[in-house]
Amino acid sequence: MPTLLFGSISTLVDTSELQRAAFNVAFDRHGLPWTWGRDEYRELLTGNGGRQRIADYAEEQGTQVDATAVHETKSELFRESLRSSPLGLRPGVADTLQAAREQGWRVALVTTTSRENLDALFDGVDGLSAADFEVVTDTSSVEQGKPDPAVYTFALGELGEPAGAAVAVEDNVGGVRSAQAAGVACVAFANENTVMHDFGDTPRVTRLALDDLAGLVAERA
């Protein structure tokens, strides 16, 4: 059965600037003289994982930091913003979800974010709920984060569907690599802070449409 796999919160709602703002407030609360501007943040997003991003940056700055504690503060701030900010679904997402339901597609959210972040997403965004997805993964689903393909392999196993029947929507290079390593066709749906990234030969879209995604699945049939 055709299967649609959303690869992150930001493929549904563009939260990238909320994330950057949360990092900067967290730095201030932990007494760190860091401010990530948009250009610098865009460069940092070429790697996956917020905690590791903090740890790597601290090493570059020659600073001793409890990256886990800073990241926990950042995550709390992000969830507060996600629940209170009037964010809408990204272009084409609502129509794509509806069309997928009507046409009998399997749909999953294949992310390694925390369950708390997912709860904040579903609490804070109108027109979106956990019921829109048959499977929702989180950080506890697999040990390896993206770009490792483990979370895609896990989600497909939960759905009982083969990789060849699936198409993934990802907003960053690491996510694209994860999907492709699992044998899943993928489109790049860049967010406002990954739009300048090099996705190679991966098809890029600025608005989701199920017909376009179905074409990628049909090419592999």
Q: Which of 63, 84, 105 delimits the end of a domain?
A: 84
Res 106: pLDDT: 98
Q: Which of 84, 116, 140 delimits the end of a domain?
A: 84
pTM: 0.94
Please tell me the total count of domains within the chain: 2
pLDDT of 116-144, one tens digit each?
999 999 999 999 999 999 999 999 999 99
Question: Residue 86: which pLDDT band, with cuts at 50, 70 and 90?
Answer: confident
Shared-domain flag, residues 139 and 209: yes
Question: Residue 48: which pLDDT band, with cuts at 50, 70 and 90?
Answer: low
Q: Which of 84, 102, 117 delimits the end of a domain?
A: 84
Calpha distance 111→136 (Å, rounded): 8
Shared-domain flag, residues 9 and 118: yes
Shared-domain flag, residues 141 and 59: no
Computed over every residue of the chain, the mean pLDDT equals 96
Shared-domain flag, residues 9 and 60: no
Instruction: Give the pLDDT mean for 40-55.
Output: 87
Q: Which of 152, 221, 206, 207 is nearest to 180 (CA)?
A: 152
Domain of residue 149, residue span: 3-13+89-219
Shared-domain flag, residues 21 and 118: no
With tokens 């209170």, the residue in question is 84
Give 184's strand partners. none
Instruction: Give the pLDDT mean for 73-78.
Output: 97
